Amino acid sequence: MRRAALLCLLLGGCGSAAEQQLAALKSAHSIVAEWAAVARAQADGRVTDTYAREMADDARTQLASARRELADPNDPAARLIDDLGATPDRAHLDVTASALGALEQSRADH
């Protein structure tokens, strides 16, 4: 059942624009939260610089995809993603992940 719903959303054959926006927001939140976690692990010496750099590159690619789904440039989630820039520091990643999580929760509740 879950796979069918995900497939339907991915194909764009069903689901409202709001549901698609929420899916993109959830994805962006997850990506930024994971990026922040890796940045913290790098700072603590628990992962190599190479791993952290490769993960950050992958996160940027995935985040760009999620950002395209948030077509309205005035969407608060889109602005948060845009404000990350190319090389955000750990604090900025943490703040952005938290803000995206709050937006996700707010939109999921409606």
pLDDT (tens digit, 9 = 90+) per residue, 9-66? 455 555 688 899 999 999 999 999 999 999 999 999 999 999 999 999 999 999 999 9
- Rounded to whole angstroms, the Cα distance separating 1 from 11 reads 15
Give 3-state DSSP helix, strand, coil % of the chain, rounded to 5. 80, 0, 20
> Which pLDDT band, with edges at 50, 70 and 90, does 110 fall under?
confident
Decide: pTM greater than 0.85.
no
